[in-house]
């Protein structure tokens, strides 16, 4: 059976250190038989807004993309590269781009984070992602050796209509690079991932940031992989860096979908309010 992996990191504000760490985790995943590995959101840098924009790259070139292409090719593994700041239309902002590299080091898909994290978590903790990020507007499903993979990022998980749209396009798995806050992660991380898996009878690969970062932000960790019936089949039980694995069974996925044929029973396709 195909094997998938999710990487958990505590990325710093040092690009070189983060790239070295991500590369080692990718090698480890490949050595343990993974066909595809998912990196967390902002794996390359967890810094302030100025640092984020300073490392943004043109799509198709730059040290982050080059490093990922090299390690994917060397390890012969597909890599879902969390998010990378990629140049967009607004020169003062970036796209939070999730790139998919095949085993030859070629970029075969790109998804730009659609839902931006502009929220107040507590009186002392708020985020305004739109200060530096411009949203994407395209849905992406890519054919991979482990199945048809739909792409989403972190806050996207709160919008089930996105996942149903990916399901409608044939997705069998969802990659979800993330950097959940401690408060929202403790309350909602697992239930959201399990809900998206159950609603769509799909695998969900949640690769998270975990720990206290140099910019003062704390993230929840607890990366996990959920199977189509909603059970957590792999989990990092803490905030520490590491890799988790799961073998997937697409025959079982399609058996479930045939026994409860939600694709045939759905009634609402384009609801406007």
Residue 272's pLDDT band, with cuts at 50, 70 and 90, is: low
Poorest-confidence range of 8-22, 104-118, 256-270? Answer: 256-270
Check if CATH label 3.30.360.10 holds for domain 3-264: no
**Residues 232/194, Cβ–Cβ less than 8 Å:** yes
* Number of C-beta neighbours around residue 206 at 10 A: 33
What pLDDT is recorded for position 269? Answer: 66
Chain centre distance of CA 206: 6
Which residues does the annotation mark as catalytic? 41, 113, 154
pLDDT interval class at 214 (50, 70, 90): confident
CA angle 222-225-227, nearest 5°?
145
The rounded percent of the chain whose pLDDT value lies above 70 is 98
Pairing assessment for the beta strands 203-208 and 78-87 based on DSSP bridges: unpaired
Query: Does residue 271 surpass a pLDDT of 70?
Result: no
The predicted pLDDT at position 93 comes to: 97
Sheet holding 173-178: strands in order across? Answer: 141-144, 147-151, 173-178, 203-208, 224-226, 232-235
Domain ranges of the chain: 3-264
Q: What are phi and psi of 180, to 5 degrees?
A: -65, 145
| Helix/strand number for the chain, H first, E second | 8, 16
pLDDT for position 270: 54
Q: What is the mean pLDDT of residues 122-127?
A: 90
- Cβ 182 vs Cβ 219: under 8 Å: yes
Confidence band for 273, pLDDT divided at 50, 70 and 90: very low
Q: Rounded to 5 degrees, what are φ and ψ at 11?
A: -65, 145
pLDDT tens, residue by residue, 31-63 = 999 999 999 999 999 989 999 999 999 999 999
Q: Which two tokens stand for residue 187?
A: 């309350």
Record the pTM: 0.96
- Residue range 139-173, pLDDT digits in tens: 999 999 999 999 999 999 999 999 999 999 999 99
């Amino acid at each position: 059976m195909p094997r998938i992996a999710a990487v958990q990191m505590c990325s710093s504000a040092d690009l070189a250190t983060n790239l070295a760490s991500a590369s080692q985790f990718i090698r480890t995943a490949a050595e343990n038989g993974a066909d595809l590995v998912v990196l967390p959101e902002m794996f390359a840098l967890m810094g302030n807004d100025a640092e984020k924009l300073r490392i943004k790259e043109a799509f198709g070139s730059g040290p982050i993309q080059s490093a990922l292409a090299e390690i994917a090719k060397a390890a012969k593994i597909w890599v879902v590269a969390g998010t990378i700041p990629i140049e967009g239309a607004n020169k003062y902002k970036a796209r939070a781009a999730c790139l998919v590299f095949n085993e030859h080091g070629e970029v075969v898909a790109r998804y730009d984070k659609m839902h931006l994290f502009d929220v107040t978590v507590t009186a002392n903790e708020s985020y305004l992602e739109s200060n530096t990020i411009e949203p994407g507007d395209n849905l992406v499903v890519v054919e991979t050796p482990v199945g048809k993979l739909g792409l989403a990022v972190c806050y996207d998980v709160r919008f089930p209509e996105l996942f149903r749209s990916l399901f409608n396009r044939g997705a069998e798995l969802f990659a979800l690079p993330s950097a959940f806050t401690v408060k929202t992660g403790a309350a909602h991380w697992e239930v959201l991932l399990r809900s998206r898996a159950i609603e769509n009878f799909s695998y969900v690969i949640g690769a998270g940031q975990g720990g206290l970062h140099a910019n003062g932000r704390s993230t929840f960790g607890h990366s996990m992989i959920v199977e189509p019936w909603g059970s957590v089949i792999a989990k990092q039980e803490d905030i520490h860096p590491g890799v988790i694995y799961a073998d997937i069974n697409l025959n079982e996925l399609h058996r479930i979908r045939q026994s409860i044929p939600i694709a045939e029973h759905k009634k609402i396709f384009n609801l406007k309010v």
